[in-house]
């Protein structure tokens, strides 16, 4: 039996998006925040969610979906429980992010954009995560893991597999 997530936004969510939109001279200004609000409620963004956001803020659904497709950080319906973003921008690259990506890719047995067969992890490369001084850097869902080493990566993924919250490994 498969379970299907209800992707119909609550009336109060639609109202919150409409209220937000009124604060901007053009609806485009509210779009990213409106999508985040919808994503938080449903757990991901799909065409049905985009359609409702589009109606609420008064934009064409195709433009809303185009925005979601452009930004890799919106959670998709097919994503795993933990969405892993490994920074590939220059400061992280200079500190070995390509090796980090390859290590994680081998460890999970998936390539960029793929999800592990158990549905636990989806792997992405990301542009700058805004923490260049702690490169190389990785984001898993809403958490950052910084100054990564292979040992830290092993611990992080062991913890995630065991349902624990890994230590954040922030060192300045």
Q: Which residues bind ligand FES (CB under 6 A)?
A: 87, 89, 91-92, 128-132, 135, 137
Nearer to ligand FES, 132 or 140 (CB): 132
Minimum CB distance to ligand FES smaller for 14 or for 126 = 126
Closest to ligand FES by CB, 15 vs 143, is 143
Q: Smallest distance, Å, CB 132 to ligand FES?
A: 3
Q: Residues 88, 125: contact at Cβ < 8 Å?
A: yes
What's the closest the beta carbon of residue 129 comes to ligand FES, in angstroms? 4
Q: Which is nearer to ligand FES, 30 or 135 (CB)?
A: 135
DSSP helix/strand/coil, 148: coil
Q: How far is the CB of 99 from ligand FES (least distance, A)?
A: 14
Whole-angstrom CA distances from 8 to 31, 67, 76, 78, 87 are 18, 20, 15, 17, 33
Residues near 81 by beta carbon (within 8 Å), at least 6 away in sequence: 119, 120, 121
Rank residues 93 and 120 by Cβ distance to ligand FES and give the closer one: 93
Minimum distance, C-beta of residue 137 to ligand FES, in the bound complex (Å):
4
At its nearest, how many Å lie between ligand FES and the CB of residue 90? Answer: 6
Under 8 Å between Cβ of 96 and 136: yes
Q: Which of 72, 75, 47 is nearest to 125 (CA)?
A: 72
Helix (H) / strand (E) element for 94: namely helix 90-94
């Amino acid at each position: 039996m498969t379970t299907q997530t209800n992707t119909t936004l609550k009336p109060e969510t639609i109202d919150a998006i409409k209220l937000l939109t009124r604060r901007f001279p053009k609806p485009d200004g509210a779009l990213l925040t409106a999508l985040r609000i919808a994503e938080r409620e449903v757990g991901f963004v799909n065409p049905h969610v985009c359609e409702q956001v589009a109606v609420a803020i008064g934009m064409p659904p195709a433009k809303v979906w185009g925005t979601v497709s452009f930004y890799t950080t919106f959670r998709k319906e097919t994503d795993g429980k933990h969405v892993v973003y490994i920074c590939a921008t220059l400061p992280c690259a200079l500190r070995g992010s390509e090796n980090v990506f390859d290590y994680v890719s081998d460890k999970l047995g998936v390539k960029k954009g793929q999800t592990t067969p158990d549905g636990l992890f989806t792997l992405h490369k990301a542009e700058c995560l805004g923490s260049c001084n702690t490169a190389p850097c990785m984001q898993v869902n809403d958490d950052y893991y910084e100054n990564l080493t292979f040992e830290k990566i092993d611990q992080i993924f062991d913890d995630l597999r065991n349902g624990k919250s890994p230590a954040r490994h922030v060192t300045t």
